[in-house]
Structure 1
Amino acid sequence: MTLKEFIEILEKPNQIQAQQMHELEEILLEYPYFQAARVLQLKKFHTEQNYRYNKALKLAAVHVANRSVLYDFIHSKSGQHLSEAEVIRQIALQKTTPKTDFVTPTATYQKMPQKEMDSFPKEEIVPKIYGSFTDNQEADAIAAKNQVSQTDLHSFSQWLKTISEVGNPSKQEEKHVEENPKIAEKFKLIDRFLETNPKIEPSREYVSNINLANEVKTDPHQLMTETLAQVYVKQRKYKQAIQAYEILILKNPEKSGYFADQIRTIKNLQQNNL
């Protein structure tokens, strides 16, 4: 965009075309403090009621120096508030002003006159402070050394005492026994018992040699089981098998029908000599 074209759209901001708006945005990206271009963009957004108007207004308020001129130009029907000379001046200012992202502050030093420096006292303060500090530090170190040595002596004496007590367990036992008279009395009783060496003699009471197993009489009916009856059948001892099932009928009446069938089966085998 040339300077002539820019002045034309400045005089007729309501007739800015889309391509010219795009060029204005490129100019503002390169020169964000170009007030005339910033105001023209904001004027176009205000006229079209563009959604970007609020954001552009905040940016313009930051980059434009005179906000009253900005307000009058946006709400006026023409661009008479910004003259051609003002536009040319701002363009020249933007081109000549170098872009700086960050300004590093420089330190300033003020040299003191020699007379004032000579007037200060030349007393050596630091050596005295250092000397007092080292003296206190040495005194603390000596006190700590003495304290450690006393602690070491105390610990060493305790260690010797412990070693002597461990080396003579009898003394510890004697001391413990002396302190507990009841325990001492119990030890005496134990020693006396061991000296007498008593023996446990067996009792001399009469013991009968009678075989008690013979006195136990077992009812053979109690030993009868169904398994034994089946064994009799396999051995062809049919009489004993029938007798066994008869005993089982008496012992288990609820199974009498089953046992009766077994008896009939055995009798059939007996008749057929099987």
Structure 2
Amino acid sequence: MQKNVFYNYLKHPETLNQESLTELKTLVKNYPTFQSAWMLLLKNLKILDHPDFEQYLKQGAIHVADRRILYHFIHQEIPKNEEQSPAETLVDPLALEYMTPGFYRLQEPTEQKDESLVDLIRSIRKKEVTKELEEVDQPVEEKEEEKSDNSFVTETLAKIYWQQKHYRKAIQAYENLSLKYPEKSTYFAGQIEKIKKLTN
């Protein structure tokens, strides 16, 4: 379907007919996330009083973000007066907004929504910057302790810490091993005592 034909259907839904129905079915098959195409297809089915309307409505409702707009669009009376301003209907704004497949927005967000979204993004960025600054201020030893994952602590690692005279890390490793292997907790407690005697 050509873009100008699609635009014309949006602007003048009274022109929807059996031929447009076939084209719109093909369009939603090829572009299942194209909301405006679904809306036009459902409008077309409604105008033709097609028996498949209910079936397509169930499918289309999934692909349309705002079902209130869909409802109003489907049930909107087609103006008999051709001179009626397009701004008075829902059709023209939709035509202007939803020309491309996969376009998800059905209406212009209000300024308030824009501001709240901007505020949300700012607060997230502020939290990220604060977290980064806290990490920079944090001593290197504390960072390493936080990053060390208890699941990778082994007895060999604890011995290496001990041999390299990283007594605090060795004690912490044995404490983690004691929690991980409670059946050997007496042995690990003995190792911790030996290290503490060396440090005193």
Q: TM-score range by the shorter chain?
A: 0.3 to 0.5
Question: Which of structures 1 and 2 has the bigger CA Rg?
Answer: 1
Say which structure, 1 or 2, has more relative contact order (CA 8 Å, 6+ apart).
2
TM-score by length of 2: 0.48
TM-score by length of 1: 0.36
